[in-house]
Amino acid sequence: MEKITWVENTHPNYNKFDNSQRMFPREISRDTRKFHDGIPGFEMTPLKSLRKMANFLGVGGIWVKDESCRLSLNSFKVLGGSYAIYRFIKKLIGEDREFSYEELISNDVKALTGEITFATATDGNHGRGVAWAASKLGHKSVIYVHKNTSQSRIDAILSYGATVKIIDGNYDDAVDQVSIDAKINGWEVISDTSWEGYEEIPTWIMQGYTTIVSEVQEQFGAQGILYPTHIFVQAGVGALAASIIGHYHAILGKNSPISVIVEPDKAACLYESMKIGDGNPHNFPGDLDSIMAGLACGQPSPIAWDVLVESVDLFIAAKDYIAAEGMRMYAVPLKGDPFIVSGESGAVTLATLKHIMLDEEFTDLREKLKLDANSKVLLINSEGNTDPINFRRVVWEGSKPLPHR
């Protein structure tokens, strides 16, 4: 049983970066960060150095952008949802100028927009971010979740006044249903995945995530580092990965970091699409039942796919126990490294890197990725403890142990 499987990028647009430059113009991270900085309580999340782990694995450095403390929401997702709602309101009232946060929540703007109901499908984190943003602006939200969504994630969404609807199906079924119901009820869909005829808002969401890159580069600069040499990013529909990797490629072109996407093997839609190799995104069948709930998506976002096929070097599908191992690695760090609270979706890249560096069976992969003592690796801890019951099962009780041969 293979811990991870991988496929190289064979798309004909590989290394062209046209979509990256179109989606992520140079000024976009400046604009998104200026908006986010105006939100009360907004602070830069830490970029944590795992020096001891880097020495242990034989790389030059490992840095983790820790999104577990983003606005006390335990996830990066609020960056995209809040920015998309901001752009939507600007377009709705016909104003192209920049708005301060105070203006955005003012009665004057509310009088122009009327009451809006924002809707989305989620595995938990995106819905929580949309519900939070809607409540701050004085609007309603309706959040669709799939039947396997944990109660703790549902409760977190409900805490911001949202209406939650549980769909008897998987994440993709929830996406389909909310788009149908929104048309009937006049709701505005704020989805982080795209489909034909629905691309503008998912683009704004992806652009909202570029605040992460802006902060990372400021933090690297303070340490005298220009750029990472490698980026490992986890993926569901691909929006976060496209934002991080695509933005670097829009800025640096062929000098960009070597990039790797990691998905659950039970929901590896991007990996499978690249493996099929016809240049199109493909649906991953099944119930998508992975502990990596935030990545359990069967259908790639087409606009994210367009960025990823021209910029990502390698796609990896990982077993659930790899994510569980990563959670324990973060929770019980080597002496001298910081403790990091990482959920199932946030931790899979660290353990994947570990196996690539230490397992003899991945020697060829390690060499292909040029991972060595000079490598500066960037990881994104995309979520904290968003499901406390499962977190304890994994970290305390050893759920999903690594099989030993």
CATH number at residue 110: 3.40.50.1100
Number of other residues whose CB lies within 10 A of the CB of residue 27: 8
Whether residue 236 is found in the same domain as residue 344: yes
Whether residue 371 is found in the same domain as residue 335: yes
24 occurs within a structural domain? yes
Rounded to whole angstroms, what are the CA distances from 53 to 102, 234, 367, 377? 43, 19, 19, 11
What single string gives the DSSP state of each residue in 275-337?
HH-SSS--PPPS----S-GGG--SS--HHHHHHHHHH-SEEEEE-HHHHHHHHHHHHSPPTTS
187 occurs within a structural domain? yes
Q: Of the listed 3, 77, 266, 400, which one is catalytic?
A: 77
140 occurs within a structural domain? yes
Rounded to whole angstroms, what are the CA distances from 22 to 37, 82, 251, 261, 303? 24, 22, 11, 21, 11
404 occurs within a structural domain? no
Of 187, 202, 217, the residue that ends a domain is 202
Is 192 a residue of the active site?
Answer: no
Q: Angle at CA 267, nearest 5°, toward 6 and 230? A: 40
Whether residue 246 is found in the same domain as residue 357: yes
Which of 229, 219, 248, 227 has the alpha carbon at shortest distance from 26?
Answer: 248
Is 364 a residue of the active site?
Answer: no
Whether residue 215 is found in the same domain as residue 291: yes
Of 202, 226, 257, the residue that ends a domain is 202
Ramachandran category for residue 128: left, alpha or beta (phi over 0 → left; psi -120 to 50 → alpha): alpha
Number of domains in the chain: 2
Residues in Cβ contact with 363 at an 8 Å cutoff, skipping those fewer than 6 apart: none
pTM of the model: 0.96
Q: Residue length, the chain?
A: 405
Of 202, 236, 267, the residue that ends a domain is 202
| 260 within 8 A of 313, measured Cβ to Cβ | yes
What does DSSP say about strands 188-189 and 163-167: parallel, antiparallel, or unpaired? Answer: unpaired
Whether residue 123 is found in the same domain as residue 57: no
Q: Of the listed 31, 48, 65, 123, which one is catalytic?
A: 123
| Residue 223 belongs to domain spanning | 4-75+206-395
pLDDT (tens place) for every residue of the chain, 405 residues total:
689 999 999 999 999 999 999 999 989 999 999 999 999 999 999 999 999 999 999 999 999 999 999 998 999 999 999 999 999 999 999 988 888 888 888 989 999 999 999 999 998 899 999 999 999 999 999 999 999 999 999 999 999 999 999 999 999 999 999 999 999 999 999 999 999 999 999 999 999 999 999 999 999 999 999 999 999 999 999 999 999 999 999 999 999 999 999 999 999 999 999 999 999 999 999 889 999 999 999 999 999 999 999 999 999 999 999 999 999 999 999 999 999 999 999 999 999 999 999 999 999 999 999 999 999 999 999 999 999 999 999 999 999 999 976
Calpha distance 338→341 (Å, rounded): 10
